[in-house]
Structure 1
C-alpha cells in the first residue's frame, strides 16, 4: 500500500476537512477492498465525522481481517460505544483485557473503560469488582479512583460513608501535588468591595447545568459582583453566546491542564472560584487542589463532595444536606435555603399539553438517564404499576435505543410483574422542544434512587408533570425531595417505599385534582422558591458575601 495515500487522509483530517478525508479513505478502500489498514482508516474517518453507525461495518471488517491488531479493536470499541451497541462493545473490551498484560501502561485505562461500561449496563456488582481488582494492581491511578467514586453514586447498596471514603481517597491521592507552600494572593481584604467571581466548567453551553446557572448570571448585582466564566470545553453554541452577555469576561481554555487554568486565574485574580463540574471535569479537581483563589467553592454540577482539601465550601441546602451531613464532605457546607437551585426554563419550551389520562389510560413515566435505574428501582416501580393495574409506563433515554439493553429493562420489569405490553419506549428527539413536548405522554413521573433526577424533575414540572420522589440518606438521594419542596410540591415526596406507592395510587385516583395541578403548574413554579430567579440570585450572592467577610475577618491573603 502506498503510504502517501494514508498521509493524504491524515492531512485532510488535520485540515478539518472531514468530507475530503472520507472521499480519500473510500478511494483507498476501493483500491484495497479487503485490506485491514484501509478498512480501519475508513472506519476511523467516519467515527471522527460522528458517522458511527456507518463506521461499525468497516471497523468490524478490519478486526476480522487482522484479529490480533490492538489498534483495530480500539477503533471498533470506540465506534460501537458511540453507535449505542454497548453489548457488543463489552465483548470487544473483554477480548482486549484478556490480551493485555496487567502491568502494561494501558491496562488501567482499559479497566476503567470496562468498569464504566459495566455500570452503564446496570451491572453494578461486576463494575465494583473490576474497580477494586484494578486498584489492587494500580493503587495510584487517578482515573480508576475517579471512576470508582463516580460509580458509587449510582450503586444501590452503597452506604453514604462508603461513597464518601472513595471521594476522600481521591482527594488524598492528589493532595501531594499541591504546592508545599500555599500561594499568597494580593486580593484587597475589603469585606464590602466589588467581588470578582470566577465560574469554571466544561458545560457553559447547551447543557442542563445552564438551567440553574443562568438565573444567577442573568440577575447578578453587577454593582457588587463581577463574574468571569472559564469554559474548559471545545463545543460552543447559541447558549454560550447568551451566557457571554451576562458576564464581564469570558475565558475559553479548551482541554487545558490545571496548570493552564491556574495560571490564567492567577492573572485575573478572582476573589472566589466556583467549580460547577467537579468529578465530571478532572482538570478542575486539580485546579482546586492547586488553589486558584482565596476562596474556592463547588456547586451544582456534581452531587457529592470533591474530596479536595483546598476546596473550602460546598453550596447545598438543609434538605439535601441536613445537620450531620458535614461528616460526608471535606468542604464546609453552606446552605442556600430553602433550595440550592433555581431553574430558568428553556426558551424553546412549548405549552403544557393535556394529560394522557384525560383521554386514555393513566401513564407513569421517567426520562432519566438509565444508569440511575437498578433492580431496587424496578421493584418499587413494579409495585406502583401493580397497585394501579390499568396504568401504562413510558421511558425515554438514548440508551433505550439499543435493542439488547431495552430487553434488559423489560426483563427487569417482568421479574416484578409488569408485562412488556404496558411499557412504551419513546424515541430519541433532535431538539429540546421535541424532548419536552413528549411530557404530554406522562401524567406523573417517577424518580429513581439512590441517584435522583435533577433537570428531569424541573423540566417535568415546567411541562405540568409532578415527580414522586423518595427521601434518601445523602445528598445524591435527597435532591428530589429538595426540588419538590422548592417547587411547593411537598405532597409528591415520600419517606418510605410504602409511602411512595401510596402517593402514586392517590394521584392516579384523583384525576380532577391532578389535571387542575397540571394546568396551574407553571404559575405555581413561578411563585415558588425554585422559580424565583431574582430572589435566588440575591441569596446566592449573600452566601458569597458572607464567605468573603469571614475571610477578611481572619486576615487571610
Structure 2
C-alpha cells in the first residue's frame, strides 16, 4: 500500500470515529497524521465542535499552509478567525478562498459579515450583492444584505422597503386557508430565532409573561437552542414549546395549524436564524411582526400588522410599510433589565473635571457622518474632553487602528480617545462608569444600548432619522419623559450634549436618579405594557380574524 493510500485510509477511519460520536478517538487519530493537510483541516472542525476555538485556529492555519490552493480550507479558517474576532486575518482568509474560487457565494457572504463587523458597511454591501449575484436563492445573504442596508446613510427608508418587498416575493406560498376559530382564549404563536437574553428577550419577555392566561395562551416555536433565564421564564408561561430547528417551513406551518394558532407573531425579522418562510405560508389567520430584534417592516403581504408606536412610525409621516401599524400607547417594547446590574457609579466629571462622551453601539453603526458630528462636538467641548467607544471589534488591533485613523480625519486625536473591546455583560454595564453622556448614532439608532445607558445613569442624546430603525432611542426617551434629549438636527445634537455637561452637579443629580426613573416609567412596566399589548392583539383579531 502506498503512503498516500495509507494516509487516506487513516483519515477515513478518523472520520468514521467522529461520525460514530467517538470524537476523542477521532481527534487522537488525526493528531497522529501530523503534516497531512486534510487531517489538520478535519481536526480543526472537531476542535470547533468542542469549543476549543484557539486550538481550532492553530489547526486551520496549518491546513492552509499545507493546502494553500483549497478554497474551502481558507473559508473554514476565515469562519473560525471571525468567531475569534481576528477580523483582519479572517478577511484575508476569505479573500484567499475567493482568489481560488471567485464563484464561492458563501465566501462572499461571510466576507460581507466580516467587513460589517469592522464597520466597513459599504464594502459589506458590495460583498452581499456579489453573493446574491452568484446565488440568487441564497436566503441568508438576502437577509444579511437587507440588515446591512440599515447601516447605510445612503439607503432611504423607501429603498429598504422596496428591497424587502422584492425579497419577500421569493418565499414559497401556500394555497391553504386558515380559518378563524370560535370564541375561547386566543392562541398566540411566537415564532422566534431564539429565546434568550438578547434584544428579543430583553424587549419582549416582560410583556409576554404578564399577559392574562385566561385570555391568551402562548405557543413558542423556537429555531435555535441555547437556554438561559429568559427561556426558562418564557417556558413557565407557555402552553407549548416547540423546537423547530430541524423542521422544514412546511412542517412548522403544519404544526402551527394543528395547534390552532389564532395570531402568529414573528419576533425575528431578518435576523440570523429567522423563519420568515413559515410566515409566507400563512399558517395563522392573523400574522404580526414585532420588531424587537429586526427593526423594520418585512414587506410581506402575508404579514398583516406591525407592532410599533407613534414615535417610531409617526401617523402623520409614516415610514413605507406593507403592514398596518398597531400602535402601542407608549414604547413599542418593554425592557426587562438584568437582575444583576451593577450599581450606578458616580459621575466621572466630578473626579476628572472634563466630560467624557461615549458610545457602546456596534461599530457598523458608526458611519462617517456620525463621526463627523462627533468631531464637531469634540471641537466645541471643554478642553480635556474624551471620547469613549466600546465595540467588540476592537479586540482586533487592526480594527482599532483603522477606527483611530477615521477619527483623526474628524480632528479627534488618538490621545482624546479610549477604545474598549469585548466585555462580559456585567463588565460592559460597569463601563458606563467611564462616561458622562452617551452619544447615539444614525441612521440606525441604539435600542438595548440606549436602555442600558439609561439604566446605568447616563443620559443619551439622539438624532432621530426617518426609518423605524432610526427612532428607537427617541421612542424610549419620550416614554421616559425626556424629549429634551431628542435633537432636531445636528446643531441641536451638539448643543444638547454640551448643555448636559455644562453643569456637572445637575448632571450628577440626573445620573443618581435616572435608573429609578427608568424602572418606574412605562418603558419597564411589564404589567401595563401587557394590558396595552392585549388590546392591540384583540384589535388586530377584530380587524382580520
User: Which bin holds the TM-score, normalised by the shorter protein?
Assistant: over 0.9
Which stretch has the larger CA shift, 201-210 or 459-468?
201-210
Report the alpha carbon displacement of residue 350 of structure 1 after superposing the two structures with TM.
2.2
2:449 alignment partner in structure 1: 456
TM-fit CA distance, 1:118: 2.6
Q: Of 9, 27, 30, which aligns to 1:28?
A: 30
**Stretches of structure 2 lacking an aligned partner (at least 5 in a row):** 1-5
8 Å contact kept, 1:383–1:501? yes
Counterpart of 1:54 in structure 2 is: 55
The match for 1:357 among 343, 349, 364 is 349
Residue in 2 that maps onto 1:399: 393
Report the TM-score when normalising by structure 1: 0.91
1:550 Cα deviation after fit: 2.2
Aligned equivalents of 2:493 and 2:544: distance in 1? 44
| Counterpart for residue 511 of structure 1 | 504
In 2, Cα distance between equivalents of 1:124 and 1:435: 24
User: Counterpart in 2 of 1:532?
Assistant: 525
Cα gap change, 1:72/1:467 in structure 2, threshold over 3 Å: closer, same or farther? same
| In 1, Cα distance between equivalents of 2:515 and 2:17 | 51
The Cα of 1:4 is off from its aligned counterpart by 6.1
Q: 1:372–1:449: 8 Å Cα contact kept in structure 2? A: yes
What corresponds to 2:420 in structure 1? 426
C-alpha deviation, 1:468, in angstroms: 0.9
- Corresponding residue SS for 2:461: strand
Could you tell me how far apart the structure 1 residues matched to 2:431 and 2:236 are?
31
- Number of the residue aligned with 1:127: 124
Contact 2:7–2:33 (CA<8 Å) still a contact in 1? no
DSSP 3-state at the match of 1:364 = strand
Alignment match of 2:216 (pick from 212, 222, 225): 225
Deviation at 1:109, TM superposition (A): 2.6
Q: Is the 1:215–1:344 Cα contact (8 Å) retained in structure 2?
A: yes
Q: Which residue does the alignment assign to 1:160?
A: 157
Shift of 1:16: 5.8
Matches of 1:427 and 1:127, distance apart in 2? 21
Equivalences for 1:432-471 in 2 at 5 Å? Answer: 432-471=425-464
The residue that corresponds to 1:317 in the other structure is: 309
Query: Which has the higher mean CA deviation after the structures are superposed, 440-449 or 47-56?
Result: 47-56
d(CA) in 1 for partners of 2:452, 2:201: 13
Encode CA deviations 1:181-236: one digit per residue, 9 max, x unaligned: 24233522x3xx42111112122112232112111122111121111222211212
Question: 1:308-335 CA distances to partner (integer Å, 9 max, x unpaired)?
Answer: 1101111111111112555611111111
Shift of the 476–17 alpha-carbon distance from structure 1 to 2, 3 Å rule, reads farther
Task: Output the CA distance in 2 between the equivalents of 1:353 and 1:548.
Answer: 46
Q: How does 1:480-499 map to 2 (within 5 A)?
A: 480-499=473-492
**Paired residue secondary structure (2:494):** helix
Q: Which residue of 2 aligns with 1:248?
A: 239
In structure 2, what is the Cα distance between the partners aligned to 1:170 and 1:294? 23
Aligned to 1:201: 192
2:330 pairs with one of 310, 325, 338: 338
Shift of 1:141: 4.1
What is the distance in 2 between the residues matched to 1:139 and 1:233? 25
Does the 8 Å CA contact 2:194/2:225 hold for their aligned counterparts? no
CA contact (8 A) 1:470 1:495 kept: yes
- Assess if the C-alpha contact under 8 Å between 1:148 and 1:166 holds in 2: no
Determine the C-alpha separation between the residues in 2 that align with 1:494 and 1:164.
Answer: 25
Alpha-carbon contact 1:9-1:25 (below 8 Å) kept: yes
> What residue in structure 1 maps to residue 363 of structure 2?
370
CA distance in 1, matches of 2:215, 2:519: 26
Q: What is the number of equivalent residue pairs in this alignment? A: 537
Secondary structure of 1:437's aligned partner: helix
DSSP 3-state at the match of 1:234:
coil
- TM-score (normalizing by structure 2): 0.93
Q: Would you say the 8 A contact 1:135–1:144 is kept in 2? A: yes
Distance in 1 of aligned mates of 2:394 and 2:351: 27
**Separation in structure 2 between the aligned mates of residue 325 and residue 284 of structure 1, nearest angstrom:** 30
CA contact (8 A) 2:143 2:271 kept: no
Q: Offset at 1:9?
A: 4.5
Q: 1:172 aligns with which of 169, 174, 180?
A: 169
> Deviations for 1:337-367, whole angstroms, at most 9, x for unmatched residues?
2211111111121221212112114211111
Structure 1 residue ranges without an equivalent (≥5): 553-557
Cα distance, 1:13 vs. partner? 4.5
By how many angstroms is 1:503 displaced?
0.7
What does residue 555 of structure 1 align with? none
Give the deviation of 1:59 after TM superposition: 1.1
Question: Are the equivalent residues in 2 in contact too, given 1:315–1:333 (CA < 8 A)?
Answer: yes
Deviation at 1:269, TM superposition (A): 0.9
**Structure 1 residue 526, shift from structure 2 partner:** 2.9
Of residues 279, 296, 303, the one that matches 2:287 is 296
Q: Structure 2 residue aligned with 1:187, among 169, 181, 186?
A: 181
Offset of residue 134 of structure 1: 4.7
**How far has the Cα of 1:101 moved from its partner?**
5.4
Change beyond 3 A, Cα 1:292–1:401: same
